[in-house]
Structure 1
Amino acid sequence: MDETYKTKYALHEAIREGQTSKALALLSTNPNLSTLSDPDSRLPIHWAVSFDRAAVIETLVQQRNFDADAVDGSNWTPLMMACSRPEPSLQTIHLLLSKSADPNCQTTGGQTAMHFAASKAHLDVARALLAAKGSARIRDKRGQLPVHRAAAVGSVPMIKLLLGEGKSPVNAADSDGWTPLHHAVSEGHGDAALVLLLAGAEFEKEDKEGKRALELAPDAKTRRFIVQAAEREGIDLE
């Protein structure tokens, strides 16, 4: 990284390096730095959220020209970045939502913040997004809803949340014809598969290759677990 870059994007650099005092001093001296995009089209708020620099985030959202839905080169908003962190800050997420961040913005791949929350099984984040009118019915470019993501990672609580009160359809198929049940079974998540079946998942539904979900079980043990668990609930899969 050359000196010209470091000088021009001193605020971005200070945020990435965790130099909070320096970042706040730069903003105090020149508030317009908050609207400066780097070569990746990222604003200081994108980096601050990515690295969870709470003090810097608090200052940036108070700037006169703050845009809660500003996007980087891949159409990621600060809210999306906050929701996709391994350990998301609910404080930051609530702060961004209070500044009118749109939970239904989509990346170039069509994902919303809800997709990221579902993929990481961030239940409290998903609840916050739903409370802010975030939709569980937006599809990404692969035709997947957040519930497809939740099923793929086997998050039973997330699946229940997304299906609750009709928020998300249980039998929606993605671009490969896979329903949430296909995803859960293929990844070996028997408990998640059972929850989907109890919610009305159509186990006879075929994907674009003519395969039912149960045919995608990774091994005989997983298949047997799902069949027996469903049978105890009065669902005959065979």
Structure 2
Amino acid sequence: MQDTTKPNKYAIHEACREGHLQTVESLLSASPKLTLVTDPDSRLPLHWATTSASLAIATLLLQHTPSLDTHIDASDSSGWTALMIASSLPSSSGLPLASLLLSRGADPNAKSHGGQTALHFAASKANLDVIRALLDGGASARIRDRRGQLPLHRAAAVGSVPVLRELLGKGKSAVDVADADGMTALHHAVCEGHGDAALFLVVGGAADAGKRDGEGRTALECAPDAKTGEFLVRGAEREGVDLV
């Protein structure tokens, strides 16, 4: 049975996770240093405020955090920073938080234990507005994670043409980089059946359709079905590109 007479050491973490602003205000009023307390997952209250998309709480925590420049990029047990969490929230709902964190000095190129940056996570969720904010804030689209993947690989895997366009344009991402499996962004787009994304990479990004992955396959040979392959071939032909 839980001993309710003992104070909850992680009460502020719970309040941040649940979005209880008044509770956080009360706890910080009694002990401002609670902003630096980490829970068993090495998460600060800021991590939880970001997870719950609580802009008001995150703002309050940052106002009370001493030596903010050394704590804003604190990582949890997975190597995730608050900016990475904000960047991975669905439908760009983390944009206000990402913008706040960037304005307070968060490093957009910090890496998780897997070598991913906030841009990798934003690309995985097709969070276009967050990606734009990250690029404006100095994020590099040329950083590879431990599997050799760029954010471009992730955008291709989810089939987001707008994100691919942003990464290749403003982000100046390389288009034909191969990951640890020898797969380029084009391979990933085709493998997942994203014909529109694959066609954009070939036509708009000048991707090399002849590159082979670690198993010796071209992107076209990775098509999950004949329909995807035919769509890509016919679309490329209309643009004057011969893939066969």
- Alignment partner of 2:169 out of 164, 168, 171: 164
- Alignment partner of 2:217 out of 211, 217, 232: 211
Q: Is the Cα–Cα contact under 8 Å of residues 19 and 49 in structure 2 kept in the other structure?
A: no
- Alignment partner of 1:221 out of 197, 218, 227: 227
Give the whole-Å Cα distance in 1 for the aligned partners of 2:209 and 2:17: 48
What TM-score, normalized by structure 1, do the two folds share?
Answer: 0.96
- CA gap 1:204/1:68 in 2 versus in 1, 3 angstroms: same
Name structure 1 gaps, 5 residues minimum.
none
Report matched runs for 1:121-200 at 5 Å.
Answer: 121-164=126-169, 167-198=172-203, 199-200=205-206
Q: Is the Cα–Cα contact under 8 Å of residues 123 and 155 in structure 2 kept in the other structure?
A: yes
- SS of residue matched to 2:169: helix
Give the whole-Å Cα distance in 2 for the aligned partners of 1:56 and 1:168: 35
Could you tell me the percent identity over the aligned residues? 58
Cα RMSD of the aligned pairs, angstroms, is 1.5
- Residue by residue over 1:38-78, the C-alpha shift from the partner in whole angstroms, topping out at 9 and shown as x without a partner, is 01000000000001122211111112413210111111100
> For this pair of structures, how many residues does the alignment match?
238
Report how far residue 229 of structure 1 moved.
0.3
Give the whole-Å Cα distance in 1 for the aligned partners of 2:23 and 2:170: 48
Counterpart position of 1:104: 109
Q: List, as ranges, runs of 4+ consecutive aligned residues in structure 1 with deviation greater than 6 Å.
A: none
- Residue by residue over 1:166-209, the C-alpha shift from the partner in whole angstroms, topping out at 9 and shown as x without a partner, is 61011000000000000000001111111110121111100111
Q: Is the Cα–Cα contact under 8 Å of residues 152 and 184 in structure 1 kept in the other structure?
A: yes
Counterpart position of 1:73: 77
What TM-score, normalized by structure 2, do the two folds share?
Answer: 0.94
Give the whole-Å Cα distance in 1 for the aligned partners of 2:7 and 2:160: 42
Give the whole-Å Cα distance in 1 for the aligned partners of 2:112 and 2:2: 30
Q: Is the Cα–Cα contact under 8 Å of residues 19 and 57 in structure 2 kept in the other structure?
A: no
Report matched runs for 1:1-80 at 5 Å.
Answer: 2-3=2-3, 7-65=8-66, 66=68, 67-80=71-84
AA aligned opposite 1:230: A
Give the whole-Å Cα distance in 2 for the aligned partners of 1:134 and 1:109: 17
Q: Is the Cα–Cα contact under 8 Å of residues 20 and 55 in structure 1 kept in the other structure?
A: yes
- SS of residue matched to 2:90: coil
Report how far residue 3 of structure 1 moved.
4.6
Give the whole-Å Cα distance in 2 for the aligned partners of 1:112 and 1:166: 14
AA aligned opposite 1:98: S
